Structure 1
Amino acid sequence: MKNFFGLLFFLTIPVIGFSQIKTLDRSFKSGGFSNKRNDSLPSGEINVTLSGKTKYTDYKIISFKKDTSYVDTTLTLQKHYKFNFRRKDNFGLLPFHNQGQTFTSLTYDFSESSQFPDIGFRGKHFNFMRTEDINYYQVPTPTTEILYRTGMEQGQVLDALFTVNFNKRLNASIAYRGLRSLGQYRRSLASTGNFSTTVSYTTPKNQYSIRTHIATQDFFNEESGGLTTVALDNFSNGDPNFDDRARLDVNLSDAENNLETFRMYVDHNFQLFSSKDSTNQKNFSNLKLGHELTIENKDYNFTESSLNNDFFGDAYTTTGNTNETTKYSLTNNQAYLEFNSKYILGRFKAKANYTNVSYGYDELINLSSGIDNIKLQGNAIGIGAEWKGAIGNFAVNADAMVTPGSGHLAGNHLYGEALYKKDSVFTLKGRLQLSSKAPDFTYQLFQSRYNAYNWNNNFENIGTRNLGFDFNSKWGNASLDFTNIDDFVYFNEDAQPVQYNNGVTYLKVKVQKEFKFFKNFAFDNSILYQNVSSGSEVFRVPELVSRNTLYYTGEWFRGKPLMVQIGGTLNYFSKYKMNAYDPLLAGFKLQNNREIGYPSIDLFFNARVRRTRIFFKIDNVTSNFTSNFYYSAPNYPYRDMVIRFGVVWNWFI
């Protein structure tokens, strides 16, 4: 499917690309938010005319939450941090050696969580584009953007998008992110594809509006199981005979896993009544009737041409290959009434869900497992409301949903935040989240030919309470999160799902500050402190994670046609008993044999010529003059020093 959509994409649109965006600041008004220009762009660029009368700020990007940003072609340090195959800042994530593989989570974020349990296999979801990750567009001229980056050993990343407005009210976009990278070690090939297409339309008088997208994604990996015991010794001792990493033996010779997903999303509403606001003399909707539909399917497949009993344990048969598929489908229909008025200081939305879910297998895989139910199915009705209000410098957002009952979908979710903004000086936000939901389905039901990987559990809902504060200012940024988790579920050392009967208490404090000096130099620092005061035996994170970047920014040559960034980044996390990766579960489990933590240094040279950004990076330059202590997970070495190149282009026709 990935190859089909990739071929269709490039036959239809010969040259397309992916954008970089800059979020607009938001000022507050009674009745909601209004968009305001962010002053982080050079003052001489934000009003640059591209063609005719169009400017950069005319090329708008509308997020899932309907916040507006714009195509940004500047070169900043944040662009450098996000120049990877995920297009997100990877702070707090430790990548495996090859791009397209999974990540070890050095920190966890509980401020946003899904309402319903997912399929599981969390190691396959780091590059998964959720409904909230899909953007919609409004552009005065056809817009094309493209990113290219070299792979590891062989391969590359291409991230591309094309969007056009057929008229002011109708926009369509098509995007494809493709990755194929061989990797330095055996059995580390990664091949992924993310295809999406969007349409948004509003009638001339805004009486009816619709936005919809279709996304198909697949994530294929060869799985090595990490280095063998002998190969680990050869790597750790720095044996020069194994400088060619492909000579190191791995535990699995023919294992592969793949996650394929399909999603269709539609959100449309009809304005029932309208009135005139005497303050601004503009029509607005007093009452809208809306419908939101999400259909999502996920299939996870694990294959081996022969059984590997030494790594996964005994199987119920001794011959034959392994081809196991786990299926998940969710259909969610939501009807809502939305009321927008200055009398409630913003927007109020009442909503009701009807949700159907199915998870499991088409047949019994292990005849000796004792499992008699190979599918988990159910449906549920939920009710909830949203409120977004603002007055002066204060804003409040709240979202609540309750799904009564006792099935797999039963639970509740409450999120609230209060925000105070003092002009451009500082912003202070407090937030609270309370949730209760069933664990992901892989913890509840799983089948495999390997005897140890079969279970059917009836776990209690996981209860999560998160209290957080964010402070952003011209002096620096800081955040604090205090999280308590009841009935936490995890995989133990034997890869068995276990529910922790005691509570997990987790504190996270992050500070970020950039210091500028000597006009062209800057020192950017992000420091994260974490503490697990209760439940540290099952919930493990490093106490300290930091990223420190010293860099130079300058404009070279007469007329300043070239802008450059030159610098280095020190990454560090303290030693802790990092979770181990299990390739059959495509997830992580506890281990108590090894502590991992180390510093690494990356160097970079970035440049910008007009609307083209060029990126050179040397990963882990420290590997050339230190001992081999760097790992992404137990048995999985982190990458050696490698030089990679990439570019980002923008076209505005």
Structure 2
Amino acid sequence: MMIKKAFLTLILFAGFLSVSFSQECDTLIESKDTSDVHFYRHNVDSLALGRLHSYRMHISGVQNYDQIFRVTPFFASLGNPGLLYKDLLFNPIHPNGFNFGIRSFDAYLFTKENTEYYQLKDPFSELIYILGPKKEQMLGAKFHTRISPRISLGADFRYIFAPGRYQRQKSDNKSLAISGQYFTKSRRYGVIASYLFNKVYVYENGGLAADSLFENNTGSDRNVIPVGLYSAENQIREISFVANQFFNIQKQHKKLNDSTYVRRNIHAGRITHTFSYAKQTQEYMDSDPAAGFYDNIYKDSVLTLDSVYHFQIVNKLMWSNLGYLDSTERKPFYIYGAVRHEYHELGGYDERKYFNQIIPSAGIYWLIRQTYMISGMAEFVTGDYNGGDFRAKARFAYIPGKIEKKYGRIELGFDLANQKPGWFYQHYSANNFFWDNDFKRMGMSVFSLYYKRQRLKAGIEYQQLSHYVALNPEAIPHQADGGINVFKAVVYKDFRFSIIGIDTKVAYQTASNKDFIALPQILADLAAFVTVPLFKGATIIQPGFRVYYNTSYYADAYMPALRSFYVQSDKEIGNFIYADVFFNFRIKRARMFFKYSHINALWGPYNYYMVPSYPMMDAGFRFGLSWKFFD
């Protein structure tokens, strides 16, 4: 107990010290790769506004291979890579429009929002391979190239195969993204498009039948511990296509010759059209539904085959005042107006439902004298099911000294939403669960204040919720009668002292109604390492360790038939340190790591859960390789 308190005190001190730590002290020796490549996401306006991301060769954090780290630094999982997860940082607002409601697997999927489009001069490819205990394997491959000055093509592939230590714990996930880009010589017209395929296939064991067998460490073979389900599995399959094209209304203004252009002070803007198609199917199967795990069987006591599909077509037309050579620096005032039509078809477990929605939206971005930034957006839903929903957000930022990279920014934010719960929470009909609700819209407002600069993010959020919906201890949706308040504070700081690096992430959260929202009060993650160049920088080594901790709380339990988490008050978990030791190194363009995960599991105690009755992984050795090519 004293060790845990000392660790928590240390990491909190390091995190809050970062707010006042003004000297960057960043002399970390990591050879910069002159072949760094850049990419943008989502739409061509991101490219026009200079919202590019760097795909660099840094080795810091390369050992954090789990795809969930792409979306959140704090999460609860079921103890094996590729299984469903829960974000432990509470974020109540979801995008406007029709929402089915089950999102426990999103980190594993390629979507139109996270697909990467690369800006290249030379071909770029990368191979990723991870090997862990019990035949755990992960494979990743990227290939992007320009086949002509105006056309680029790319493909990204991910594969996770992890049988797990316990019975019925296997994951087998595959994802593929194929993308293309075309721009005319003058850049008056351009189009990007992608085809996306995702398949998540996981066994479901319902958790341990008796937690005491694990907690007492009865035997070293985890595969003999009884579990709740022996013939259940979940599958998610999704195929989608998206195309985003733009057309600048005016021709590009030429200067003295055909190769040099100048910006117009006033431009008629551009028209952007986005078309997307997607079909997702979710299936839960159990060949022995009468085994006693579920309280109710409504349809078939011999075979459970719950299937639901969601088909959607979206068309969005937008005007903005973007021109040819614009960026956030060259375009201090940016506005847009848009309207989109959404068609949704839902079926499988019930009669088919059809929804049509028209959603107008508008937004603004204004950078004043390189010092003040004002931005905002609003959108409103008209049409079937959740017609009347709206969402708006506003940001005001102050950039000290007009140099954001040096002094950072102070950002004040306000988000407001009034949204119907996802369809899943209103209507569901399956073999083990059935409900038909008429919940009110959920009201959500979020006030935030953040300070952001290189290697530092610190801030607070105050969230006010009304009529919030969650799954109760019987895994049935229920709605709060009154309001719920959530407070959140985070500090993320990466320290660099010569060759020593310390990366800290600390979060504090509290909710006023734990019957609907269960949160660990404190989450902390610390990684410490030294980075040493060898052979004139041709090789870099980085030994280090990482520790994670969260306070104890009544964590949400997991219901396999619903692919969802629900509140419970029977088992309190947490107050346990997870420690890894790692050795990262880089040889030219190859990054590798050796990692001994959860090393302190070797000596117990055996109470390391993130989800009740789903133990986290035992101590184990892992190896990873990431190799980039530029030809």
* C-alpha contact 2:192 2:244 (8 A) present in aligned 1: yes
Deviations 1:123-155 (A, max 9, x none): 222322332111111211111111111144114
State the secondary structure of the residue aligned to 2:292: helix
Deviations 1:152-203 (A, max 9, x none): 4114111111011122321111111111110000000101111111111111
Question: Residues 172-211 of structure 1: matches in 2 within 5 Å?
Answer: 172-211=153-192
Number of corresponding residues: 586
Shift of 1:274: 4.6
**Aligned residue number for residue 357 of structure 1:** 344
**Aligned residue number for residue 479 of structure 1:** 459
Q: Against the structure 1 CA distance between its residues 105 and 344, is the aligned structure 2 distance closer, same or farther, given a 3 Å change threshold? A: closer
Shift of 1:115: 1.4
State the secondary structure of the residue aligned to 2:214: helix
Shift of 1:554: 0.9
Shift of 1:68: 1.4
Higher relative contact order (CA 8 A, sep 6+): 2
1:455 aligns with 2:401: no
1:525 aligns with 2:504: yes
TM-score in terms of structure 2 length = 0.87
Q: Against the structure 1 CA distance between its residues 97 and 125, is the aligned structure 2 distance closer, same or farther, given a 3 Å change threshold? A: same
* C-alpha contact 1:277 1:283 (8 A) present in aligned 2: no
State the secondary structure of the residue aligned to 2:392: strand
Hey, what's the Cα distance between the residues in 2 that align with 1:526 and 1:122? 24
State the secondary structure of the residue aligned to 1:100: coil
* C-alpha contact 2:361 2:378 (8 A) present in aligned 1: yes
Instruction: Letter of the 1:491 partner, please give it.
Output: L
1:499 aligns with 2:479: yes
1:590 aligns with 2:570: no
**Aligned residue number for residue 16 of structure 2:** none
Hey, what's the Cα distance between the residues in 1 that align with 2:454 and 2:194? 38
Listed as ranges, the gaps of 5+ residues in structure 1 are 1-37, 49-54, 365-373
Instruction: Letter of the 2:561 partner, please give it.
Output: L
Q: Against the structure 1 CA distance between its residues 85 and 526, is the aligned structure 2 distance closer, same or farther, given a 3 Å change threshold? A: closer
Shift of 1:338: 1.7
Hey, what's the Cα distance between the residues in 2 that align with 1:475 and 1:318? 55
Instruction: Letter of the 1:355 partner, please give it.
Output: E
* C-alpha contact 2:29 2:531 (8 A) present in aligned 1: no
Listed as ranges, the gaps of 5+ residues in structure 2 are 1-23, 256-260
Hey, what's the Cα distance between the residues in 2 that align with 1:375 and 1:124? 24
* C-alpha contact 2:29 2:499 (8 A) present in aligned 1: no
1:314 aligns with 2:296: yes
State the secondary structure of the residue aligned to 1:614: strand
Hey, what's the Cα distance between the residues in 2 that align with 1:163 and 1:475? 29
Shift of 1:496: 0.7
Q: Pick from 431, 444, 458: which aligns with 1:464?
A: 444
1:568 aligns with 2:545: yes
**Aligned residue number for residue 283 of structure 2:** 301
Q: Against the structure 1 CA distance between its residues 348 and 635, is the aligned structure 2 distance closer, same or farther, given a 3 Å change threshold? A: same
**Aligned residue number for residue 395 of structure 1:** 373
Q: Against the structure 1 CA distance between its residues 438 and 563, is the aligned structure 2 distance closer, same or farther, given a 3 Å change threshold? A: same
Instruction: Letter of the 1:70 partner, please give it.
Output: S
Hey, what's the Cα distance between the residues in 2 that align with 1:321 and 1:474? 55
TM-score in terms of structure 1 length = 0.85
**Aligned residue number for residue 334 of structure 1:** 316
Q: Pick from 406, 410, 415: which aligns with 1:428?
A: 410
What root-mean-square deviation, in Å, do the aligned CA atoms of Structure 1 and Structure 2 show? Answer: 2.6
Instruction: Letter of the 2:228 partner, please give it.
Output: N
Q: Against the structure 1 CA distance between its residues 531 and 204, is the aligned structure 2 distance closer, same or farther, given a 3 Å change threshold? A: same
**Aligned residue number for residue 15 of structure 2:** none
Q: Against the structure 1 CA distance between its residues 312 and 75, is the aligned structure 2 distance closer, same or farther, given a 3 Å change threshold? A: same
1:612 aligns with 2:590: yes
**Aligned residue number for residue 116 of structure 2:** 135
Q: Against the structure 1 CA distance between its residues 41 and 357, is the aligned structure 2 distance closer, same or farther, given a 3 Å change threshold? A: farther
- Range moving further from structure 2, 281-290 or 160-169: 281-290
Deviations 1:3-45 (A, max 9, x none): xxxxxxxxxxxxxxxxxxxxxxxxxxxxxxxxxxx99898995
Instruction: Letter of the 1:484 partner, please give it.
Output: Q
- Range moving further from structure 2, 490-499 or 561-570: 561-570
Shift of 1:490: 0.6
**Aligned residue number for residue 72 of structure 1:** 56
* C-alpha contact 2:26 2:496 (8 A) present in aligned 1: no
Hey, what's the Cα distance between the residues in 2 that align with 1:463 and 1:75? 43
Hey, what's the Cα distance between the residues in 2 that align with 1:261 and 1:189? 20
Shift of 1:113: 2.7
Hey, what's the Cα distance between the residues in 2 that align with 1:332 and 1:395? 31
**Aligned residue number for residue 3 of structure 2:** none
Shift of 1:405: 5.0
* C-alpha contact 1:359 1:441 (8 A) present in aligned 2: no
Hey, what's the Cα distance between the residues in 2 that align with 1:87 and 1:122? 16
State the secondary structure of the residue aligned to 2:101: coil
Instruction: Letter of the 2:335 partner, please give it.
Output: F
Hey, what's the Cα distance between the residues in 1 that align with 2:149 and 2:375? 30
**Aligned residue number for residue 82 of structure 2:** 100
Question: Residues 399-418 of structure 1: matches in 2 within 5 Å?
Answer: 399-404=377-382, 407-418=385-396
Q: Pick from 376, 380, 405: which aligns with 2:357?
A: 380
Hey, what's the Cα distance between the residues in 1 that align with 2:39 and 2:74? 27
- Range moving further from structure 2, 435-444 or 207-216: 435-444
1:268 aligns with 2:245: yes
Question: Residues 120-269 of structure 1: matches in 2 within 5 Å?
Answer: 120-229=101-210, 232-239=211-218, 241=219, 243-269=220-246
Hey, what's the Cα distance between the residues in 2 that align with 1:308 and 1:621? 40
Hey, what's the Cα distance between the residues in 2 that align with 1:274 and 1:131? 29
* C-alpha contact 2:279 2:310 (8 A) present in aligned 1: yes
- Range moving further from structure 2, 243-252 or 342-351: 342-351
Shift of 1:122: 2.4
* C-alpha contact 1:465 1:483 (8 A) present in aligned 2: yes
Hey, what's the Cα distance between the residues in 2 that align with 1:171 and 1:98? 37
Q: Against the structure 1 CA distance between its residues 478 and 199, is the aligned structure 2 distance closer, same or farther, given a 3 Å change threshold? A: same
Hey, what's the Cα distance between the residues in 2 that align with 1:150 and 1:475? 30
Hey, what's the Cα distance between the residues in 2 that align with 1:461 and 1:41? 51
Hey, what's the Cα distance between the residues in 1 that align with 2:264 and 2:501? 48
Deviations 1:236-266 (A, max 9, x none): 1122x2x110010111010011011111111
Hey, what's the Cα distance between the residues in 1 that align with 2:30 and 2:608? 44
* C-alpha contact 2:285 2:306 (8 A) present in aligned 1: yes
Hey, what's the Cα distance between the residues in 2 that align with 1:152 and 1:261? 29
State the secondary structure of the residue aligned to 1:308: helix
Give the 4+ runs in structure 1 shifted more than 6 A. Answer: 38-44, 341-344
Identity of aligned residues (%): 19
Hey, what's the Cα distance between the residues in 2 that align with 1:39 and 1:128? 38
Q: Against the structure 1 CA distance between its residues 217 and 385, is the aligned structure 2 distance closer, same or farther, given a 3 Å change threshold? A: same
Hey, what's the Cα distance between the residues in 2 that align with 1:224 and 1:56? 46
Q: Against the structure 1 CA distance between its residues 628 and 475, is the aligned structure 2 distance closer, same or farther, given a 3 Å change threshold? A: closer
Q: Against the structure 1 CA distance between its residues 182 and 477, is the aligned structure 2 distance closer, same or farther, given a 3 Å change threshold? A: same
